[in-house]
Each structure stands twice: as C-alpha cells, then as structure tokens.
Structure 1
Amino acid sequence: MPSRTEVAKHNSKNSCWVVISGIVYDVTKLIDQHPGGANAILALAGKDATEDFDLFHSSDTIKSRPKQVIEIGPIAAGGGSSQPPPSPVASFIAAETSDSRETSLKMSAKLPLVACRSLQDFENTALQLLPERSRVYFHTGSETRSAFDNNRADWARLTFRPRVLRDSSKLSMREQIMGVHSTLPIFIAPTASAQLGNPDGELCFTRAAARMGIPQGLSTYASKSPKEVAECFQNDPERRGGALFYQLYVPKTKGNAKRMLAEAKSLGYKALLLTVDNPVLGKRDENDQYKELAALGPDDEKRPYATPPLPGEEPDVPRAIHDPTLSWDDLPWIRKAWGNGPLILKGIQCVEDAVEALRHGVDGIYISNHGGRQLDYAPSAVEVLLEIRQNAPQVFEKLDVYVDGGIMRGTDVVKAICLGAKAVGIGRGFLYALCSHGTDGVVRAIEIMSEEIQTTMRLLGVTDLSQLNLSFLNFSRFSQAKDIRLFSSKL
C-alpha cells in the first residue's frame, strides 16, 4: 500500500499519481488525453483528487479508460499529508465545503419554488447560491461574451404581429422531436458537469423530462454516465413520457467514439447530436483564469515565465481536447456506427453548412453557437435562421431544424418556430433551475415554459404549432426596410 508521502512524490507530468476514494491511480498516460486539459490533472498530481473527481465525473469513468488509468492500490493509513501548503490566493479561490454550502443555502433569501415565475428567477437565485467555482463554470462565455450576450438580445429584437378574434379555447403544443413525441416544442439541451450545481446532477433533468414528457439531451461530459441516466429514466415511478438523446464529442481516438455510440444505442438513446463546432476549445477567459488561480502554488509567482514555442510551432494543436481532424468525410462511419436513429449535426452557424448538411443526408441540423462559449462574435440563432430563410429556404422543407442559444421565455420558443425551427433546446435556463431547486425546480421550469408558450400562442391567435409562420413576426428592429418585404406576409 503506497503511503501519502510516496504518492506526493509522483506530482509531475512524467509520473502522475492521484488518490480517488482511497485508491491510488497512475494517470500519467491520461494527462495529454484528458478532455478537460492536462492542467486539470496536474493541479492534483500527488494529491487526493476525490472531491474534484466526484464533481465532474460519474462513478464508472475510471473503468472506461483501462489503458490510460492504472490502479496502484489502496492508500496506506497515516504516513503524512500529501497536500501542499496553502496558496497565497487560497482565500480567493477556495471552494466552499459541503457544510458551508448547506449553511449558505439555509441562510440565503432563496426564492420559494412556488414564487418562481420565469427562468430568470431560477438564474438569479442560482447565481446567488452557487460557490464561485460552479458559478464561473456555468456563467462563462468566450472572450468578450459577445456571442453569449447576443443570443438573448436578438430574440428581443423580433416583435410579434398578433391576430385577434380567433377561437383559442383548444390548443396543441405537441411536436415530434428527432423522431420522438414531446408534449412541448422544447427539449433539455445537453450541458456538462451538472453535478457542480446539484449532487444528483443530470438525473434532475432526467426525472423532470420523464415526468413532463419532453426529451433530454445528455452530454459526453455529463457528470452522470449514460447508463445511470438511462436507468433513472426507465425506473422513474412518475414517468409520463420523454426520451433520451446522446450528444457526442468525437475524441482524438476515433475508435473510442464507436464504443461510446454502441453503448448509447444499447441503452435506448433515440437520437445522436453530433457536435461539430469545437475543433478546439473556445477561449473562456473567466473560467480559464479561475482554474489557473486554483492551481497556483505558493512559489509559482516567483518562478520565471517560461518562453513559449514560436507562434504556430506548438507541438500539438492548442486547445484541442477533441479530434481536430473531424470533417464531413467522417459522417459515413459515424452514421454506420450509430445506425438508423436520427443523426443531427449540432453547431451549424451559417447557410453554407446548412446546405452541406442537406447534401450529406443527415436527418437534421441544430443551430447553436455553444451557448456563446466557443467562437466570440459567433452569430446568434436568430441571425442563422434568417440567413437560411433568405438564401436556402429549401433547408426547412427537407431537414428538421433545431436551435438553442439564449432562449429564456416561451415567446422566444414561438419566435423560433415562426422562423422555421421545429423545436428548441434550453440549456442554462434549466441548469439554473437544477442548481437552485433540484428536480422540482426543473419540473417547475418546464411548467413555466408550457404556460408561456400556450399564452403566447393564444394571444397571437393560433391554436396549433403548424399555424405559426413568418407572418406573425415583425422584423423592423432587425433588418433594413428592403429586407422586411422578404418576410412580410401577403394580404
């Protein structure tokens, strides 16, 4: 049994050991392959990494990487501490303990669930309650946050053109989303590391989706495994519908992608959301800064800054944590590995790629700028929908189009459908409900969206989603006058 003193000696990139739940692991071979980057592991080299591991990973993550993680054995009792002296900035970046987190929840002016009237209420509450580490991760955007901010702002630039004196007593909001029935034209968009906001993580989404009859997308980087989520979905005693979709980030070793797809298929995931907008990880300054501060040692500031490689001569592709070679040519083997279920490309951001997706025979496209976390100044969902509508309207006739990005109200959902989207994904809005109120919070958030969607439809004078079209929108705050005529209805 290795002692803590022995473990502490293996604290470099050449020999890296960590302790997880009392077991010592050699993770040296994993460092350069770790999806969260090498620094996430090196910051815990030679230490007990249990708390950090449990926040970001499911219980069977270690078993899924047998060639990169070597089990050394149980750690010996005693033998000294493997923890370094506290960093000079420890007070600034220290994560709250479970006890202090619980105390902060009890003492806070937490908005009661019955008083939550919008997704913004959940966001406001969650951002007050979350520890800094979680708040930064969930709220960060890329660089100037332009893409993040425009996601929401552009929905507000579209206004409605309602009809009156229409019988709105009976109404249907049901839709087929990626081949499955949904009670609403919305689904839970895949988000990573939900366990940072609630110990049950993505299982809160799963229960809520099953109980309210809408689909849930599960990220490759979910803190709960596909198996855990599938079992929760199947066994929820209050399930009244719903379905599971699997979001894939293609890893650098493509053979691992085939294994991941086979597992998702065997567990009953109905559609594949292939993420295509991340050949490299976006530059997320606030989150990157927090991680560097958290990893800062007591003497790090005194060390001379090492001269980096010449620009463009780095040994690897900077910020590439997935397969940077992924291209349109990879779609055939991905389609074959996935089988007959719907294949949706997630991350389409221009009309050219929408047309290319149509040419490659996918089942749908998912317009998304990754919540404003990838390319700064990326277009909003509204901009892309309008661009496709102007230049290639046939895309809407031949492909199912889905969107996410800044959707916080039922009015946003209805606007998206008027523009041609079949349904919308909601990520952060439901994530903040999970953070502030757990499963019940997500159920309540879905209920709020239902109320807002049907209220908007009735006030527009429509009773079925199929009746929504461009004529219900006013583009005067979005386009020049010459463009408005393109979208206006004819009397």
Structure 2
Amino acid sequence: MPEFTLEQVAQHKTTSSCWVIIQNKVYDVTDFLFDHPGGGNVILRYAGQDATAAYVPIHPSDALDKNIPPEKHLGTLDSQSINRLKEVGKNKVQTRDELRVQEALKNKPPLQRIVNVEDMEEVAKKILPYKAMAYYSSAGDDSITHVENGRAFGRFFFHPRVMKPVSGSDTSTTILGYKSTIPVYISGAALATLGHPLGEANLTRGAYKTGIIQMVSTNSSLSYAQISAARLSPDQPIFFQLYKHVNDATAEKRIREVEGLGYKAIFLTVDALVPGNRELDIRAPHYLEDFENQGLPTQRKADEDQGETDRLGTAGGLVIKNDADMTWEKTIPWIRSITKLPIVIKGIQCVQDAVLACDAGCEGIVLSNHGGRQLEYSLPPIELLYKIRQQRPDVFERTEVYIDGAIRRGTDVVKALCMGARAVGLGRAFLYAQSAYGEAGVVHMVRILEREIRFGMQSLGVRNVRELVPQMVERVDWQAVSRAKL
C-alpha cells in the first residue's frame, strides 16, 4: 500500500483535489465533496489535513467503506508522519471546554445518588462536551413543542381504585411480540459516541441486562454490525429506526443489511424529512468560539455581511439525504417488497394519519413529534393519544400504538398505557444516562423507571399492564403545577 508524507497530503486541499487523513489512512474525497450530507464545506475545513478528531465521533466505522470507492483509499501515512501527528497530539493544548468537562467529571456524583430521570439529565449536561450537549438537548424554534410535550402530561389525572390486591404486580409487556420487562424501549437517537466512547454499545448491553428493547438509529455512531455484535445474546431483539434514503437502491441495501444482522423491526421515521431549526445546535460553534477566545478581540468586523450562518448544525447533515417524497401508496408497499420485517411508522402527528397507517397494514405506530425537534406547535403525543382514544378507538385494535417525547416519570408511562399505548420510547434520557455513567447508567435508568411504574400501577389498584384502562385517567382543562426539584 502506498505511503504518503504530511507534506504530500497538504498539497491536496481544493475542490479539484481534496485529500484527508483519517486514523493515519489517506483518502481522496474529491468526488464525494458535494455528495456529503453536510455539504462540501464541512470536508474542506480539513482538506489536506488530519480529520480524525472531527470524523470519528460522528461516523460509524464502516462509513468510509460504504461511501468512498476502494480506488479512493489511497494508502497510509509514512511512519515519520504518524509519529509527528502523535507528537502534535501530545503537545496539544486543551481547550477551555475540555478543561470544563474534566473538572465536571471529577465532581460527578456517585450513580447511587441519581434518584430520577431528571437527575441523570442534570449530571450529563454538566459532563458532556458543549457540542454534544447542544446536539442532544436542542429543539425546534423556541422549544415550545419540546416543553409542551412534558407539560401535557400534567393535564391528565388518575382515578385510583383502592382495596385491590396488588402484591406481586407485573410490569412486563410485549412489543411486536417480544417481551420487555417494562413498557419502555430505548428510542432511536443518533451519535451516542458524542457522549461516551462506547456509545450505542452501552445501550445494547444495558438493554439486555434489564430486559428491554433498543431501537437503533440510521445515524448511529457505531456501525449496525458493531451494535448487533454488542448484543450479549443472539436472541436479544433490536429494532431499526429507518430514515429512508432518497435513493431507493441505497435504502434497500440498508434495510437488507439490518435484516441480515438480526434486527427485528423497521421503524420508518416520517416526521424529520428535512432539517429542523434547532438553534442551540446551530449556535454551538459560535458559543465555543466565544468561550475559547474570552477576552481576546475578534478578528472580524461585526457589521460585515458574510451571509447566513451554517444552519445544518450537527443534526441537519444527518437528514439532508432523506426521502422527502414518501407516500402511503408507494413507500409502504415498496418496503414490504424487500423485507419481511414488521413496519412501524414513527412520527404520527394527527388522527387521520394514525388511521392511514392502519389502512396500510402497519404493525405499529409511534405518536411522536421528534421530541419537539422539528415542527413547532405539533401536538404533544399524549394529547394525540387522547384524541385517538376519543375519536378512533378502533386504532388500538388494529395496530400497536406507542408514544415518545418528554417521558420523565413512571406516572407518564402509566398514563399513556391507560389510554391504550402499548409502550413508550425514551431517547434523550438514555443518551444522557449512557453519557454520564456508561452501561451502568442505562441499567440504573431502567431500574428507576421500573420502580416508578410499579408504584403507579399498585397505587391504581392493578397487578399487570392489561388492567390499565381509559377510565383510570381524566383529562382536565387546567395545568398542574410544574415539577420542582426537592
């Protein structure tokens, strides 16, 4: 295999000849520049240079093999250049943000002190690099939908039944026929290695140890094969959250790959076809620039017109190649033609589409507005669940119904189940758990939720999830007091 020096690579830093170094290997990415989901400028920032630190945290290990033809894998750096890069790494001055994270990690509380989901989030936000925190926590526009997703649970109150035998209560259920110890699954969320080096593998192993099911994102930071291999048993079910690629051949290859790897269902995401306006994520580079340059004069004129800032952020580039022309009539039959896996539609936001998903024969639907990260003022999923129960209760007989978005307590889960949901998904919460405490954080999170769900069921007078019925909850037209930390 040919070897190159750093000087040779540095000569290729234009749109007509663009080389990059990733993990001491040299790639010609010229032809890929404008096919890159995040745009060519993202790559050009590292043209002729080592891009490893920027590339590895947000790309699965097989991404280069899938996207760059073999003839563009040019060779490796020579040993002298590799040693020079090592020396640069050793002498690199830590950024203010890296120093902040170091200090936060030293002061991280013992896992035992984490008593609820919000405790976990609070710790994670302190120890995460700012870019990761901004990506995980960002929401659309003014975060109104994100906030209302959680507030909406406060409009539903219980009618507990007393003098009912509740010892030995059973929190388990089935999701698409697969047993889960609690009616909760890990919802698909991208880029877990931004928060922890083991990323999605923490979620996989934590899910196995607690008996729940993990949904894997199309945009996971580990490869689909790595996540499948991380399972602690070949019988462990994992689901796949599919962002359908605009190119049918690419989408088909992806579906066939995960089916071959043992994934058990396709959750087709339909509520994030175009990049959302996630301003915290978009502003992250500017915040970090100002944070690192505290007290130093800016090199730019404040009133100089440089055009609008890059609005894709970390998230936008992940969805820019999504198929924006999917239809009930075309897309579902097409997926059926290439896989036998059950299809769940993730991102239902109105009663009419819930019915259409049933008409299309989908095995499940997820009522979701993408965690408030896409369309502002999309109805909170718990409110949509209530509307479906009132207007089209037949939906619950025709398909399995799940919800996600701002579930923070066992009572939230129980309310959803009372109104007909089979299970609920948590995405951010599990990202925060694995970021803060790795696999142990995932296990601890499930134990918290299991305890709270069991308490809620027993307090309502039921022994198993099948006994949770709509008569046990009432929607009120006033808002409960917001949650307060004690």
* Aligned-pair CA distance for 1:408: 1.1
Asked whether 1:245 is paired with 2:246, we answer no
Tell me what 1:47 maps to: 49
Tell me the TM-score normalised to structure 1 length: 0.85
**Equivalent position amino acid for 2:176 in 1:** M
Deviations 1:56-102 (A, max 9, x none): 122222111234982122134449999xxxxxxxx9x95855xx477
* Aligned-pair CA distance for 1:16: 2.8
Deviations 1:153-179 (A, max 9, x none): 111221211111111112122211022
Tell me the TM-score normalised to structure 2 length: 0.86
Conserved 8 A contact 2:396-2:420? yes
Tell me the secondary structure at the aligned position of residue 230 of structure 2: helix
Q: How many matched pairs?
A: 455
Find the aligned partners of 2:465 and 2:443 in 1 and give their Cα distance.
22
Instruction: Describe the shift of the 1:128–1:306 C-alpha distance in structure 2 as closer, same or farther (beyond 3 A).
Output: closer
Tell me what 1:17 maps to: 19
**Equivalent position amino acid for 1:459 in 2:** S
Tell me what 1:423 maps to: 423
Conserved 8 A contact 1:29-1:69? no
Instruction: Describe the shift of the 1:472–1:169 C-alpha distance in structure 2 as closer, same or farther (beyond 3 A).
Output: same
**Equivalent position amino acid for 2:150 in 1:** R
Conserved 8 A contact 2:101-2:127? no
Asked whether 1:359 is paired with 2:359, we answer yes
Deviations 1:250-290 (A, max 9, x none): 12222111111111111111111111112211111111122
Asked whether 1:160 is paired with 2:158, we answer yes
Conserved 8 A contact 1:5-1:79? no
* Aligned-pair CA distance for 1:44: 2.6
The within-5 A match list for 1:400-419 is: 400-419=400-419
Tell me what 1:447 maps to: 447
Find the aligned partners of 1:454 and 1:391 in 2 and give their Cα distance.
30
Conserved 8 A contact 1:19-1:50? yes
**Equivalent position amino acid for 1:107 in 2:** K
Tell me what 2:200 maps to: 202
* Aligned-pair CA distance for 1:14: 4.1
Tell me the secondary structure at the aligned position of residue 289 of structure 1: helix
Tell me what 2:264 maps to: 270
* Aligned-pair CA distance for 1:2: 3.8
Conserved 8 A contact 1:160-1:473? yes
Q: Unaligned regions of 5+ residues in structure 2, if any?
A: 86-92, 291-297, 309-316, 480-486
Tell me what 2:275 maps to: 281
Deviations 1:385-437 (A, max 9, x none): 12222322211111111110000111110011112111011111111111111
Tell me what 2:327 maps to: 327
Deviates further, 450-459 or 130-139 = 130-139
Tell me what 1:338 maps to: 339
Asked whether 1:349 is paired with 2:349, we answer yes
Tell me the secondary structure at the aligned position of residue 331 of structure 1: helix
* Aligned-pair CA distance for 1:440: 0.5
- Aligned to 2:76, which of 64, 71, 74? 74
Q: Unaligned regions of 5+ residues in structure 1, if any?
A: 83-90, 309-316, 480-491
Find the aligned partners of 2:96 and 2:140 in 1 and give their Cα distance.
23
The within-5 A match list for 1:71-470 is: 71-76=73-78, 77-78=80-81, 94=95, 96-97=97-98, 100=99, 103-108=102-107, 110-235=108-233, 242-291=236-285, 305=305, 320-328=320-328, 329-339=330-340, 341-470=341-470
Conserved 8 A contact 1:206-1:216? yes
Deviations 1:295-329 (A, max 9, x none): 99x97769964679xxxxxxxx9983312222221
* Aligned-pair CA distance for 1:211: 0.9
Find the aligned partners of 1:103 and 1:190 in 2 and give their Cα distance.
28
Find the aligned partners of 2:41 and 2:30 in 1 and give their Cα distance.
12
Give the share of equivalent positions with the same residue, in percent: 36
Find the aligned partners of 1:69 and 1:326 in 2 and give their Cα distance.
34
Find the aligned partners of 2:18 and 2:104 in 1 and give their Cα distance.
37
Tell me the secondary structure at the aligned position of residue 283 of structure 2: helix
**Equivalent position amino acid for 1:60 in 2:** D
**Equivalent position amino acid for 1:406 in 2:** A
Find the aligned partners of 2:430 and 2:318 in 1 and give their Cα distance.
32
Deviations 1:183-222 (A, max 9, x none): 1111111111010111100001000111111110000111
Tell me the secondary structure at the aligned position of residue 233 of structure 1: coil
Conserved 8 A contact 1:142-1:283? yes
Conserved 8 A contact 1:120-1:408? yes
* Aligned-pair CA distance for 1:467: 1.1
- Aligned to 1:32, which of 31, 34, 37? 34
Instruction: Describe the shift of the 1:78–1:263 C-alpha distance in structure 2 as closer, same or farther (beyond 3 A).
Output: closer
* Aligned-pair CA distance for 1:43: 3.0
Find the aligned partners of 2:142 and 2:362 in 1 and give their Cα distance.
33
Find the aligned partners of 2:16 and 2:160 in 1 and give their Cα distance.
66
**Equivalent position amino acid for 2:106 in 1:** M
Tell me the secondary structure at the aligned position of residue 246 of structure 1: strand
* Aligned-pair CA distance for 1:291: 4.0
Instruction: Describe the shift of the 1:6–1:121 C-alpha distance in structure 2 as closer, same or farther (beyond 3 A).
Output: same
**Equivalent position amino acid for 1:160 in 2:** F
**Equivalent position amino acid for 1:437 in 2:** Y
Tell me the secondary structure at the aligned position of residue 262 of structure 1: helix
**Equivalent position amino acid for 1:253 in 2:** N
Instruction: Describe the shift of the 1:372–1:37 C-alpha distance in structure 2 as closer, same or farther (beyond 3 A).
Output: farther
- Aligned alpha-carbon RMSD (Å): 3.0
Tell me what 2:483 maps to: none
Tell me the secondary structure at the aligned position of residue 16 of structure 1: strand
Find the aligned partners of 1:285 and 1:43 in 2 and give their Cα distance.
22
